[in-house]
Structure 1
């Protein structure tokens, strides 16, 4: 039984992996995106290695021509800046590995003894933090030198020339042939945050209207907590976008006139939005289920909440539209037009009017606060739950009001 289960699991994993690869290939062939960017970089790396071998091995007839394509393929990095930085690191490490290996052989006269001396040194050198993931080249170069017996002065000079040739070709190919610019990834991450915020707020409004349970509330809470990772992705994407313009000769030409990104203060504002969304969903999760930890708000109060959450979803969709993405691009957002009142405040371009949506949200919150006075006249626990709901939604209103995307300027 366990053998059949193991084979079934392996077959399922293989099928899933093959399907995932097929989807990636299809996306790379049908339109721009990360899959196509990765395919382009892979083909560039292969082309750089072939060109380096053609020059060093076929035309130059270098004694260890492997060094040129080996270096070239490793230097087609994700940005031109990283190619240049990795190239400098590799030249230093390969030079150090070659010289240390040659010196160890001259000192001991024995390959095995030379390895015992030089490999600990090159391994330590390679772990120096300044060299990052390029550190392994010191040890591998020393092994090449010792195994092939190429440690004369002539051979050392050739190793360095072959490395410099491969570095020049790898950096040149990466900089001149479709140099990578990661602004698209940053924009995708940027649009995802308000788009998913709108989807979550609408899901909460629908769930509360139909009578949500603990499972619904816990799912909302899990979705709200994911915003921290979305914002982390956005920060990383901003870093990649900035880095991809350094030393990039075509960056200005390829991206001139395209809209830039809002300032990083927008990210900080959405971090506060995520915090209050998380607190609000935690409150709803704690007040749901057969044995709630908090007294559930009365139905008369909960009936007012969807009228508050839907305008907030409109605010998020308006921000998404302002950032350059249509409000209907998110899963489920396109269905809002089919709902009663789902297109309220819609502008001619399909995006809601942000100021009008905020005004509707504040009106709905005023009605919710009016319910608080009635709750305070009742028992303390009910007043506490209603007060917490009113306080969290008020904070959410304030932070979303401050999260309006600032005007952007074209990338230069």
Structure 2
């Protein structure tokens, strides 16, 4: 038992060390969330050091800790949050300092007595949701004032000046030193949808071509399809972060970051993943001891697998076309050509399969019909929607026609 626990502890430690190593390598090799986190951490540390150098070393302030402490916490995820948090923090620190000073004066300078008076009053309002994470700083400011024993009007004024200096330095550093922009995460999450959809379609096609595919296989496909909803929620969250990060952010004026992809793409993929989920649900319901539907024949499923492969090719081409600015023109042209070729093949396969489905035996007709209907709607979202998407034809050197896929919306190069 002891050896098993030691082995489990070593595995956990190795997993943690490996995760840290992957994070470090990711931050060094390419832009991404890991590098963004490193940049924000270094900015926060730099802002705190600068605030201490100004207040503690140059101005020789009596409680210089307030400045770097404030600067550290105000280097937030967005410039807007830094400004909002700065105002909130100034308010709660002002209230905390004044209440602590009044408590010290009322108790004759008794530290314990002042804590009994001030802390219960400050900690409860600190949980008010409109103050956010800054509410706790009212109570900690009161602790600083009480334990330091400085509660005269001039000393409280020093606390407020030190806090304001820290706030100005923190907000300035966050706004003008590589101000955070969360546009990249929108593209990252949007690329996950075609990438994971393609992987699922490939896996499903491989299984359908086999001699036997089990209820466990179909349940696994259905579970993977349902998990695409998590990616859609992450995409919606990324869009909210991107919108917030553009507010009061000078980077949008100092550097061309490009607009985010249009939100129509989110709706396209929400519908597409819904059809993919319906396909896997039908397959899961037509196999196993408790099957509610009769599975189509092996010949139908093999041809359906070919259709799923072509749908996967469309998804893979979209992911390639959504790649970042490091992609060359030749690579984009190749992705556009792959899309164009898959688009031509996919309808030929579908039309042939739909024609042959007329001879399917009656017991398997409901399942086969539902599979065809949902696949057609999935392909419609990938190929025939009316919005945007002429870039794929242009990249492939093909004539631009109407009826391009909404998922292949107006792509812009050079996005971060």
Identify whether the pair has TM-score above 0.5, normalized to the shorter chain.
Answer: yes
2:203 & 2:303 partners in 1: Cα distance?
Answer: 15
1-side partners of 2:201 and 2:164: how far apart?
A: 56
Computed over aligned residues only, the root mean square deviation of the Cα atoms, in angstroms, reads 2.4
Provide the C-alpha distance between the structure 2 equivalents of 1:347 and 1:40, rounded to a whole number of angstroms.
30
1:348-382 Cα offsets, whole Å, 9 max, x none, are 5244454553343233222333344323xx44x32
- Segment of structure 1 superposing worse, 86-95 or 282-291: 282-291
Indicate the residue corresponding to 2:409 in structure 1. 406
Query: Which residue does 1:14 correspond to in 2?
Result: 13
Q: Distance in 1 between matches of 2:259 and 2:332?
A: 23
Query: Deviation per CA, 1:203-259, whole angstroms, max 9, x where unpaired?
Result: 2222212243333322221221121111111111122222222222233333x1x55
Q: CA offsets per residue over residues 62-101 of structure 1, 9 Å max, x none?
A: 1111100100111111111111111111111100111111
Gap runs ≥5 in structure 1: 329-345
What is aligned with 1:392? 374
Deviation of 1:347 after TM superposition, in Å, equals 8.5
Q: Find the counterpart in structure 2 of residue 360 from structure 1.
A: 345
Query: Does residue 370 of structure 1 match 2:355?
Result: yes
Say which SS state the counterpart of residue 358 (structure 2) adopts: helix
Shift of 1:161: 0.2
CA distance in 2, matches of 1:18, 1:58: 38
Partner of 1:194: 194
Aligned residue number for residue 22 of structure 2: 23
Residue equivalent to 2:239: 238
Measured against aligned partners, the alpha-carbon deviations of 1:125-174 in whole angstroms (never above 9, x if no partner) come to 21111111111101111111111112110111011000000011111111
Structure 1 SS opposite 2:179: coil
Q: What is the TM-score normalised by the length of structure 2?
A: 0.86
Could you say what secondary structure the match of 2:124 adopts? helix
Q: Residues 316 and 276 of structure 1: is their aligned pair in 2 closer, same or farther, counting only changes over 3 Å?
A: same
Moved more, 295-304 or 362-371: 362-371
Give 3-state SS (helix, strand or coil) of 1:226's partner: helix
1:217 corresponds to 2:218: yes
Name the structure 2 match of 1:120.
120
Query: What is the alpha-carbon distance in structure 2 between the residues aligned to residue 54 and residue 152 of structure 1?
Result: 25
- Is 1:72 the equivalent of 2:71? yes
In 2, the alpha carbon distance for the partners of 1:116 and 1:248 equals 43
Match runs of 1:93-108 below 5 Å: 93-108=92-107
Q: Structure 1 residues 348, 177: closer, same or farther in 2, change over 3 A?
A: closer
Flag structure 2 segments of 5+ consecutive residues without an equivalent.
Answer: 386-405
Aligned length: 388
Structure 1 residues 202-211 or 363-372, which shifts more? 363-372
* d(CA) in 1 for partners of 2:408, 2:125: 47
Change (3 A) 1:126 1:63: same
Structure 2 partner of 1:343: none
Residues 4 and 353 (structure 1), Cα distance of their counterparts in 2 relative to 1, 3 Å cut: closer
Distance 1:29 1:322 in 2: 25
**Bigger shift: 383-392 or 209-218?**
209-218
Residue in 1 that maps onto 2:277: 278
Kept in 2: contact 1:262–1:405 (CA 8 A): no
Matched, 1:148 2:152: no
The answer to whether structure 1 residue 131 and structure 2 residue 131 are counterparts is yes
Q: How many angstroms does 1:315 deviate by? A: 2.1
Cα deviation for residue 388 of structure 1 reads: 1.8
Say if 2:197 is the partner of 1:203: no
Question: With structure 1 as the length reference, what TM-score do the two structures score?
Answer: 0.87
Matches of 1:150 and 1:264 in 2, distance apart?
55
CA contact (8 A) 2:307 2:349 kept: yes
